[in-house]
Structure 1
Amino acid sequence: MSSPKSGGAGWLVLLALLVLVLAVASVLVGASDVSMLALLGIGGAPADPMASQLLFASRVPRTVALILSGMAMAVAGMIMQMLARNRFVEPSTAGTVESASLGVLAVALFAPELPLFGKMVVSAGFALAGSLLFLAILRRIPQRSSLIVPLVGLVLGGVISAVTTFFAHRHDMLQSLHAWSTGDFSAVLRGRYELLWIGFGLTLLAWHTAHRFTVAGMGRDFSANLGLRHGRMVALGLLIVATVTAVVVVTSGMVPFLGLIVPNLVSLMLGDNVRRAVPWVGLLGAAFVLACDIAGRLLLHPYEVPIGTVVGIVGSALFLFLLLRTRARVG
């Protein structure tokens, strides 16, 4: 079997099998028993009808939502890095996630009866505006280094988050804001996660157009020389990132650093061949989210640690490692 660095299909199959194993574990792990013994009454014990209801109404939708969110956010982070030409940019370090949360707050204040799809559309609009603002600020920074770019995004996100917190406090909605700000899949049920399939469709679109995003990331002049419309590809990339971010925030809340660490880990293994890296990024993102969610359910069993907290701790540590590693190489 070829090595992972060569991008061998065998290793990709093993990664897919790992996702499958983690998905089965995700379905089985929890405070309530949904084992085969409880579902089928094996061993003489009567079958538990509540176990079957819990399985199909909560556990399976939750696991599918984890997989779709992990894949979509990881690929969205990779697109963001290509467009900004910086490895440390992703929706949670570019103000995109905070802008999406501001959009959800705006819906809660002015149109609380809006259906879930409408909330996603408004949130995506805010996320797109935040991403455009971030790129506009970057264009005004001369001779920016790879370390300055994520700091600009974090500052912008902090400002947007402060505005969101201010209005949430004025309207007594801090608890709701906390729910949107902390990624948590425990409340995902059948009928409330299906919007994530939009993110899956956008992930496939990103895979199909990955080579064009690579060219667009080289700059406007380089793209024009190859006959590619740079502005159109940037707009498509930002639309994918904004929509994916909005779908995940509306469904489960923020999952920080996911789109940063997964593409960087894949880049360390495979290099910068973006088209070859997309399936790796998607599967590794799904595996990472599943593993963090399972860890959150086991750490304080039968209670849960929100996945946003687990991913935030692991992701921030890896983020610092990557920053220090880049600084050492530059130095």
Structure 2
Amino acid sequence: MKRSYLILLLFALTLISLFVGVHSVSIKGLLAGDEVQQMLFLKTRIPRTVSLILAGGMVSVGGKIMQHLMQNKFVSAGTIGMMDSAQLGILLVMLLFPNSSILGRSTAAFIFSYLGVLLFLNLSKILPKGDPMILPLTGVMFGNIIGAIATFFAYQFQLVQNVSSWLQGNFATVMQGEYELIYLTIPVFIILYFFGYQITIAGLGSELSTNLGLNHQRLQWIVFALVALGSSSVLIMVGNIPFLGVVVPNLVSLFYGDHLKDTMGLTAILGSTFLIICDILARVVIAPYEIPVSVVVGIIGGALFLLLLTRRKIR
């Protein structure tokens, strides 16, 4: 599919997202000055759609960059323990500072997610290099250990329901005045785009990129800090979104190649498109009720992930 078609598809889905929901909102009603429809449109529909676009783009681009730097097609924030580490940080803040603000929880999520990915990077250096599945499988086990620690504390202090409901991927609660932290993904994406050329070189491997004059380790630290910052803001605002950071980058690589800077914008567009489609389905499948978008993404993304694994096995 041509890039222009993808942009048009995203634009069309954005319009649909603005007008799909339990309560009726129409162009006619907005133009007629219906106060209820105008309030819903400004306070819920626009924030929700903007959040979908930014979250889908950030998670997908973050996954693409991780895969490139770690030279593995199946790593993402969800498969190397980054999100589990962020959740542990959020839980500790809820325990130690129960009245902390969103900014405080976001800071904790960023710090712990960054420490988690740095720890995993050191762990990955001692892993065998033969099978590319070893790295993501180890990452999943690493994340499960951190998740188990978080679950232990959550049960110990009776916070399981609070944590699980708060961190489940869901855009139904996004409202004006409570979602603006997700705009942090915009400067993160811009900075990552300007690092695109260096990240492309770093993806050739530590030894080769160093020979080309690049400080490979320092670039990794900077880039993973940016990815952790963007991913943490998404987690805080809308919760965890499974498979998105793995499936979308692989689809982009499959059809458009692996040149990072050329495909970064495309990855963001496709990620936003995929997430909006899943969110629209989440709103209409059992209307007038709504299911969390993470459930829909998990089903569709999981099926696509299995197809990618099968395709790899066949090759």
For 1:12, the equivalent position in structure 2 comes to 3
How many angstroms does 1:39 deviate by? 2.4
List aligned pairs for 1:52-131, cutoff 5 A: 52-131=38-117
List aligned pairs for 1:177-196, cutoff 5 A: 177-196=163-182
CA shift digits 1:277-328 (9 cap, x unpaired):
0111010001001000001001000111111111111111111221222122
For 1:36, the equivalent position in structure 2 comes to 27
Aligned counterparts of 2:281 and 2:188: Cα–Cα separation in 1: 28
Alpha-carbon contact 2:167-2:236 (below 8 Å) kept = no
Paired letter, 1:152: T
For 1:44, the equivalent position in structure 2 comes to none
SS of 2:176 mapped into structure 1 = coil
Bigger mean CA deviation after superposition, 242-251 or 201-210: 201-210
How many angstroms does 1:76 deviate by? 0.4
For 1:7, the equivalent position in structure 2 comes to none
CA shift digits 1:134-179 (9 cap, x unpaired):
2222111123411111111111111111111111111111111112
Within the candidate set 187, 204, 210, 2:190 is matched to 204
SS of 1:66 mapped into structure 2 = helix
Within the candidate set 253, 261, 264, 1:275 is matched to 261
Alpha-carbon contact 1:292-1:307 (below 8 Å) kept = yes
SS of 2:67 mapped into structure 1 = helix
SS of 1:86 mapped into structure 2 = coil
SS of 1:140 mapped into structure 2 = coil
Q: Does residue 310 of structure 1 match 2:301?
A: no
How many angstroms does 1:118 deviate by? 2.2
Paired letter, 2:206: R
List aligned pairs for 1:259-274, cutoff 5 A: 259-274=245-260
How many angstroms does 1:30 deviate by? 0.3
For 2:236, the equivalent position in structure 1 comes to 250
Aligned counterparts of 2:127 and 2:166: Cα–Cα separation in 1: 31
How many angstroms does 1:92 deviate by? 0.8
TM-score by length of 2: 0.97
For 1:232, the equivalent position in structure 2 comes to 218
Bigger mean CA deviation after superposition, 172-181 or 125-134: 172-181
- Closer, same or farther: CA 152–180 of 1 in aligned 2, 3 Å: farther
Alignment size in residue pairs: 315
Bigger mean CA deviation after superposition, 142-151 or 53-62: 142-151
Paired letter, 2:283: R
Gaps of 5+ in 2: none
For 1:27, the equivalent position in structure 2 comes to 18
Bigger mean CA deviation after superposition, 23-32 or 171-180: 171-180
What is the percent sequence identity of the aligned residues? 38
Paired letter, 1:209: F
How many angstroms does 1:59 deviate by? 0.7
SS of 2:25 mapped into structure 1 = coil
Paired letter, 1:36: I
